[in-house]
């Protein structure tokens, strides 16, 4: 099916940007490239978004730690050690297997970013995410 769902395709066609979307879509994949893995490991902040399993409300939570607390541990997997407070609105989501989660690691100094969407799996030290989509941007795309 590709990286876009039917609703996205309809909007792209309506506003005449399907070719541009196809170009961008080619940079979205399931694998974590070496350069993206190296970037992620240097970041002290990862923002994770998910729905609260109890209420269905979508939240974004900043997760922090020493560089390396979030790292690629396989070609399609990221692990996050700790990083959230017990009172975090997403604490239950982070502890629930299969939770759909979206993340972004952003270095504001260099304007580089890495986005990863996938399914969460709790671990003894935090959680892991099995990637469905990975998208990295270099500074030229962030103004």
CA distance 136 to 52: 26
| Predicted pLDDT at 27 | 54
| Predicted pLDDT at 64 | 92
85 and 91 in contact (C-beta within 8 Å)? yes
DSSP-assigned letter for residue 142: -
For the chain, residues with pLDDT lower than 70 are 1-5, 21-30, 83, 137-143
The pTM of this model reads 0.78
Residues 40-71: b if buried by 16+ CB within 10 A, e if exposed: beebebbebbbebeeeeeeeebebebeeebbb
């Amino acid at each position: 099916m590709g990286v876009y769902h039917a609703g996205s395709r309809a909007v792209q066609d309506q506003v005449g940007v399907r070719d541009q979307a196809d170009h961008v879509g080619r940079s979205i994949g399931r694998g974590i490239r070496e350069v993206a893995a190296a970037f992620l490991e240097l970041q002290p902040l990862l923002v994770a978004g998910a729905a609260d399993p109890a209420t269905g409300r979508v939240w974004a939570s900043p997760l922090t730690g020493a560089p390396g607390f979030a790292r690629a541990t396989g070609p399609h997997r990221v692990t996050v050690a700790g990083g959230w407070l017990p009172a975090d609105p997403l604490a239950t989501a982070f502890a629930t297997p299969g939770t759909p989660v979206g993340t972004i690691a952003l270095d504001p100094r260099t304007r580089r970013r890495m986005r990863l969407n996938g399914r969460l799996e709790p671990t003894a030290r935090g959680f892991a995410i099995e990637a469905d989509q990975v998208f990295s941007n270099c500074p030229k795309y962030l103004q």
